[in-house]
Structure 1
C-alpha cells in the first residue's frame, strides 16, 4: 500500500519549471518571429534580435540567480529571475523593473495585453514595458573616460556611457553611436563586434540599451587612441527619425 501510494504521487507530480527552452520578447518588427533567448541544457544561451547575428554565451542558475557570461568575460552578468507558467521574468537585481518574455510566440498586441495583466513575482518592483518606446528627444546620456589607460594596443577601453534621463529602453536596431577623433574620421560603434569600435553591455537584454544600463565603448582591432590624451566627439542618433540624443558632446580619453 505504501509503495503504491508513493508511486501514484510521483506520477501525479508535475516537473519543476525550467528556464531551458525558447523565450520570445516583444519586438517592434512584426516580421521577426525567432525566439529572443534560447537557453540550452548544455549551458549555452543564444541571443537573437531583428537584423543582428545571433550571439552565444554561457548560462547557469543558483536559486533565483541567473549568470550569463561570454567565454572570456571577466565580469559576468548576474541577474535575478523567476518563472510563472509560460512567462520568464528577469531583473538586474531583486526589486528592479523586470524584463518579461513568453514561451509562446504571440502577436504584438497579444503579447502586450497578456504581459500587462500578469501578476508580478516578488523579484519585480514593476514591469519593464519596453514596448512603449518614448520619443528619442526625451533621452539624455552622459559619457566619461574609462578608468583604464590607453596605449598602443587595439583593444583599449575608451569610455563609459549611461543614461542621465531615460523613461524606457531603446532598441539597438534604432540607435546609431559614432565617435570621432582628432583625425575627423567617424567610427561607428556596434554591439555585434562588426566595427572597429565595439559596445560592451552590462544589462539584461542584448536587444536594448536599457534605461539603467552602463555600456563601455572600446577599440576593436584598431588603435583609435595611442596613449596620452585623445579627444572624441560623440554623436548618438535615433536611426528611425535622425533625431540626435542630448548628452556629452566630447570626452577626453587618456
Structure 2
C-alpha cells in the first residue's frame, strides 16, 4: 500500500471500526501467553533497558551512536516507539535505553558478542527478539541450523546471562512471520512453528515475560493485509512496528 493513497470510504470505516478491537485484544493475547505469576511491572525508577535481536530490532539504527537514549541509536522500529513512549510518559524516572540489535543475527551470533553488547551494560530489563533468521537462513543462506540448535543455544545464552545478572528481568518476544508477505511461502507455517514453541517454553522456564507476536499479527490481519503491517512478512512497517511496541508496553502494564 502506498502511504498517501486514500482508502475507499467503506474500507476506511471498516478499519476504523476494527482498530479499537485490535487494541482491546492485546491484553487478552498477552495474558493468555504468560503464567499468572508473570505480572505486568514497570522497570524500577532507575533502570537500564536493553533490546537485543536481529534486523527487526536493529531497524536501521546508527551503530556509531551507542550511548543510551540516543535517537539515532534506537533505529526506526518498535524499539524507537517503546523508548519514546516511556521517556515521554515517565520523565521522573531515570531510564537508560540501549538498542544492540544487529541485522542478520541468529542466536549463536548474539552469543559471540554477548559480553560486550549485553553483560557489560548490566541491564535491569533485557528484551530479546531472535529466531526468524535461525529458520529463514535455512531456506535462503544454506544455514544448517535446526530448531533444536536454536533452543539449545538460546538456553545456554540465558543461563550465562542469569549467572552474571541474576536479578535481570527477561522479556522474550516470539519469532513470527506474517501470512501474505512477499517473502513467505508454504514452508513457513510448519517450519517456524518449532522455533516459536521453543521461544515460548524458554520464556516459561526462565520466568520471562513472553510477547506472542505471531498471534498478535494474526489478529491484525483481520483489520488490514500483510502489505500494511509487514510487507515482506518478516520486517514490519511503521504500523507493524507500532503494534509490536503496543504489545511490549502492554506486557509491562504500561498505559
Radius of gyration: which is bigger? 1
Q: Shorter-chain TM-score category?
A: under 0.3
Higher strand fraction (1 or 2): 1
TM-score (norm 1): 0.23
Higher helix fraction (1 or 2): 2
Higher relative contact order (CA 8 A, sep 6+): 2
TM-score (norm 2): 0.23
